[in-house]
Amino acid sequence: MANLETILSWFQTGDNPTEEEFRQTFSSFRHNDTKIPIKDVDGLESSLNNKLNVNDFVKDGKIRADKIEALGLTDLIESNESNISEFITNFYKYEFQQNDFIAVPDEKGNFSLYLFKGGEKNDKNNYLPTGISNVTIGMVKGLQNELDKKIDLPVTDGNFYIKKSSGLTTTEILVDDTLATVVNKNNYSPKGIAFIEETEGSGNPGKNGVLGANKNTYSFFFGNMNPNHTGVYNIAFGYDSLPSVTSGQINTVMGHYAAKSLTTGGANTVMGYESATGLTTGNDNTLIGVSSGYNLKGGTGNSMFGKWTGCFIAGSSNTFLGYRAGQHWGKGGSGLWSSNIVIGANTSGHPNGIWGENNLILGSNIELIGAQNNRFIINNFLGTANRWYATHFIEGNFADRWLRFDTSLQVLRLPAADVSFTKDVVAKPDGTFGLEDKKDYVPLSGTAIGKPFTGNIELEKFIDFYWHDDNGVRRAISTQSDSFSIYSGSEISDYAKEIQINAERGIYASEDLSSWYSENSFIQKRYVDSKVDLVISNDTQSSSSYTLRKNDAQDGDLSYMKIKGTFDIPANNFIFLEFPKNVDIGIQKVTGKYVDEFNAVQYVDFVVETNVDSETRIINNSEIFYKEVIINATLVGVAKNYAK
């Protein structure tokens, strides 16, 4: 076939075309009845290949999910203008995009095809002619079928999906899904959903932000729980939350780095950033708060509530409650330390270290240091200070079994005592209490009516009883080792007006009280002596008799009565003393004196002897006869039933 310029040269004015030239001329054009293959339309096949095949993207009326990203749309735009220039002027009336075909009709219904290659739509250079004109769709073999396989572009903005129904393929608006619509689609995720890429921009799911569940262990997680664990019913939320768990089970962990090292431990409840980070094999722990139980390791049965509670301890059965409660406990010493209870904010222990077991500490800001064992403390302070050396409001020791109060003590609502109460509470000067057998005490106000003394009263010797009046304290009664005295003096040191009961002298007064006697007064011996006559005679019953009265007493001796008289010593050396009836008086000692032949005073002692007939005689041991002797006889005893 010849090209168009060659053919035109054959038919210039004056030319006589040959048969061969006519044959090549007509062979260079297609008859109206001849279909044009797609491959003979310049660029059409490649353009069609750039269009999507509906059957590749649609199945059962729905878009195939694995083809969504590869989906591209094209269209054949039918122009209302009669040439491409007019179309370009009115391009804004049409919706088309790169690689779409523009079909420009003529008055006969034929079309010229242009391919829009992209770029500015008002630039004619961006529309490529296909070299096809006066061509209808029906003239292109298979074109209508191929175009039917294509999808019309949406005419509005938005998200769309491809729908094929009853052989018709359309684009439909894609409505945004809600959580309810997604759930109602009965979808599930066969593996965890990663929220963090393995490496940024890779599109590969990472391991540190996975939300998922293990269908074999029924463990739920959001973070990076060890996916190969075998322990059942674990829950972990947070980065590095249970990343090392193996056979540990029934653990509930929330917080970044919480239970980071736990492997086989079970039934632990852990909540808070870095809580139980060091826990490995421990069981049954409840740890809530930032860094609570940080270094617990294999500890079991611990309960810790509050930020920085129990950060160093590794033992079991500890309870720490409050901000920093027991924070430094276990920092020091060589044991794991168990069975401690610390309740109170900032009762952390000294930063230099505190350790020990079996302690109960209640109160805020109590700072202890070093080894602490078996201690019981209740106290409270407004701020932390070094008070480890101070006594506490209440403290005790569980091992030594003592309890101490640094405060006054009041006990309310005590039961009323009855006969079953047999002990009295007593105290030492240091405040130590003790029990002793119950004693009945006489109250200062005296005994109550109907509750008299029912037993003996024993007094120590040298006991004084006092009474008090507006003038001060007065001595009232006094006991000595051998006597009992009653006073009516004015001062404590004043022993005036004493009445004494003495084993040897009986009832005795410190002075003569006879001037105060009344009708019913008890009387003194002196008063009796002044009223009773004592008749003393010698053995010869001489006419001489001697009456001794009170004023014969010597030397102011108030304890003994002195008898003195002048006697002639008889030949038998006896002087008999005769007492009145009803007078019982004995002679204790008799002394005498006389003047000898040299006119010198001589002294002599006599022996006092009482015979069976109760006669009292004075025996002369000095072989003095017929001498006039002055006798002093000391009498002891009392006058009984005398008559005036």
Q: Are 5 and 12 in contact (CB under 8 A)?
A: no
Amino acid residing at 172: E
Q: What is the separation of C-alpha 431 from the centre of its chain, rounded to a whole number of angstroms? A: 29
Residue 153 corresponds to which tokens in the numbers above? 């572009």
User: Which of the 8 DSSP states describes residue 352?
Assistant: T
Cα–Cα distance, 480 to 502 (Å, whole number) = 10
CA distance 4 to 29: 10
Looking at the structure of the chain, the number of domains it has is: 2
DSSP tag of 417: P
* Structural tokens at position 72: 């591209």
| Residue that terminates a domain, selected from 149, 182, 210 | 149
Q: Which long-range contacts (CB under 8 A, 24 or more apart) does 496-500 make?
A: none
SS3 call for 138: helix
Q: pTM of the prediction?
A: 0.50
Q: Where is pLDDT greater, at 514 or 491?
A: 514
Q: Binning pLDDT at 50, 70 and 90, where does residue 289 land?
A: very high
- Could you report the per-residue pLDDT of 409-460, keeping only the tens digit for each? 888 998 998 989 999 999 998 888 899 998 877 787 888 888 888 888 887 7
In a domain, residue 613? The reply is no
Please tell me the predicted confidence (pLDDT) of residue 234. Answer: 97
* Residue, of 585 and 598, whose pLDDT is higher: 598
pLDDT, mean of residues 371-393: 84
Residue 322, pLDDT above cutoff 90: yes
Q: Give yes or no for residue 606 having a pLDDT over 70.
A: no
Whole-number pLDDT of residue 284: 98
The answer to whether residue 107 is domain-embedded is yes
Which has the higher per-residue pLDDT, 201 or 299? Answer: 299
Determine the Cα–Cα distance for residues 247 and 465; give it in Å rounded to an integer. 86
Residue 440: what pLDDT?
74
Residue 113 forms part of a structural domain: yes
Q: Is residue 593 in some structural domain? A: no
Q: Which residues of 381-395 are buried (b: 16+ CB within 10 A; e: fewer)?
A: beebeeeeeeebebb
In a domain, 117, yes or no: yes
- Could you list the residue range(s) of the whole structural domain that residue 99 is in? 74-149
Q: Are 513 and 496 in contact (CB under 8 A)?
A: no
Residue 451 vs residue 342, higher pLDDT: 342
Q: Which of 524 and 74 is assigned the larger pLDDT?
A: 524
Q: Find where tokens 């959001």 sit.
A: 222
Is residue 106 in some structural domain? yes
pLDDT confidence of residue 48:
62
Assign 194 to helix, strand or coil. strand
Cα 605 from Cα 441, distance rounded (Å): 57
| Half-sphere exposure for 317 (CA within 13 Å, toward CB) | 7
Provide the pairing of β-strand 269-271 with 252-254.
Answer: parallel
314 near 296, Cβ under 8 Å? yes
Domain finish residue from 149, 171, 186: 149
Domain boundary among 86, 117, 149: 149
pLDDT average, residue stretch 203-213: 87
Task: State the pLDDT confidence band at 345, using cuts at 50, 70 and 90.
Answer: very high
User: What's the pLDDT score for residue 587?
Assistant: 54
Burial of 347 (0-12, 13-18, 19+ CB in 10 A): buried
Distance CA 357, CA 321 (A): 17
Separation of alpha carbons 311 and 326, rounded Å: 8
Instruction: Check whether 232 has a pLDDT greater than 90.
Output: yes
Least confident of 18-27, 54-63, 315-324: 54-63
Task: Give 330's pLDDT tier (boundaries 50, 70, 90).
Answer: very high
Tokens of 564: 């003195």
The confidence band for 590, taking pLDDT boundaries of 50, 70 and 90, is low
pLDDT of residue 546: 33
How many CB atoms neighbour CB 39 within 10 A?
A: 9
CA distance 114 to 95: 15
Tokens 């009498």 belong to residue: 635
Q: How much is the pLDDT for 465?
A: 77
Top-ranked range on mean pLDDT: pick from 45-59, 150-164, 573-587, 593-607: 150-164
**CA nearest 364: which of 326, 319, 318, 310?**
326
Residue whose tokens read 């002793």 = 436
Please give the Cα distance from 54 to 64 (Å, whole number): 10
Residue 559: its pLDDT value, please?
33
Confidence tier at 165 by pLDDT (50, 70, 90): confident
> Residue 612: pLDDT above 50?
no
Q: What is the pLDDT of residue 614?
A: 46
More confident residue, 621 or 642: 621
Q: What is the SS3 assignment for 178?
A: coil
The confidence score (pLDDT) of residue 483 equals 80
Does residue 500 belong to any structural domain of this protein? yes
Asked whether residue 620 is assigned to any structural domain, the reply reads no
| The pair of three-digit structure tokens given for residue 181, joined into one six-digit string | 């619509």
Query: Quick one: pLDDT band at residue 292, thresholds 50, 70, 90?
Result: very high
Strands 101-105 and 76-78: parallel
Residue 274 CA to residue 14 CA, distance in Å, equals 104
